[in-house]
Chain A
Amino acid sequence: AQSVAQPEDQVNVAEGNPLTVKCTYSVSGNPYLFWYVQYPNRGLQFLLKYITGDNLVKGSYGFEAEFNKSQTSFHLKKPSALVSDSALYFCAVRDSRDDKIIFGKGTRLHILP
């Protein structure tokens, strides 16, 4: 079955430091991978996606993600964290059998001033 795992419930990073939010996936076939962000009391917003091509994908708000096929990972990164990056981040995969988007359990990112 297609799935994504986010091993960290919460990540704390000091403002200005680089951040990484981890995601690993399990799919049959080629993976379609995504990151979404949810701010408090808001809906999810698309950040970036990997379908094919360069392993480093750039997205909104200065975020990027690195696709690593051998490690089946798709970690979200940003070189310099902002306090406003504090939010809930979801990794997701598209199930090629029925086109469902399956979300991970989310990782809460706290950027400390």
Chain B
Amino acid sequence: DTAVSQTPKYLVTQMGNDKSIKCEQNLGHDTMYWYKQDSKKFLKIMFSYNNKELIINETVPNRFSPKSPDKAHLNLHINSLELGDSAVYFCASSQDLTVWSGELFFGEGSRLTVL
């Protein structure tokens, strides 16, 4: 059983389109994240949700909108895609922040290519 699963694994689309990436975790964790890894492998946090509530929202364009229907799911919707959005997007999860030491569990990544 995959602990943190993301779909799709690969996504190729045209500029201006809208796309979504889905993430699900079966670890019973309370907190989920989206990270963006650029072409130089630099990893930067985008969002964090704890029990469906947004707790971290980095300086990310409004075109990016996360949605957490329940604590096991965190989806990422991107409107009006731009060339600079091309990257690998990683979903991650962790235990409740009150007991958490900092270990993150990552999905396999979703590689987005905008043409």
The stretch among A15-23, A62-70, A78-86, A100-108 that forms the contact with chain B is A100-108
Q: Which of B40, B41, B45, B107 meets A101, CB within 8 Å?
A: B45
| Minimal beta-carbon separation of B34 from chain A (angstroms) | 12
Chain B contacts with A in 34-84, Cβ cutoff 8 A: 40-45, 48, 56
Contacting pair A106 B41 (CB below 8 A): yes
Q: Which residues of A contact B40 (CB under 8 A)?
A: 105
**CB of A11 within 8 A of chain B?**
no
CB pair B56–A44 under 8 Å, yes or no, is: no
CB pair A46 B105 closer than 8 Å: yes
Main secondary structure of the interface of B (DSSP, over half): loop
Mark B74-115 against chain A: 1 for CB-CB distance below 8 A, else 0. Answer: 000000000000000010100001001111111111000000
For B, the interface residue count at a CB cutoff of 8 angstroms equals 22
Contact A43 B56 (CB under 8 A): no
Given contacts A105-B42, A106-B41, whether A94 and B106 have CB atoms under 8 Å apart is no
7 smallest beta-carbon distances between A and B, as pairs: A43-B106, A94-B102, A103-B43, A44-B106, A46-B103, A106-B41, A32-B102
Residues of A within 8 A of B (CB): 32, 34, 36, 38, 41-46, 49, 51, 88, 90, 92, 94, 98-103, 105-106
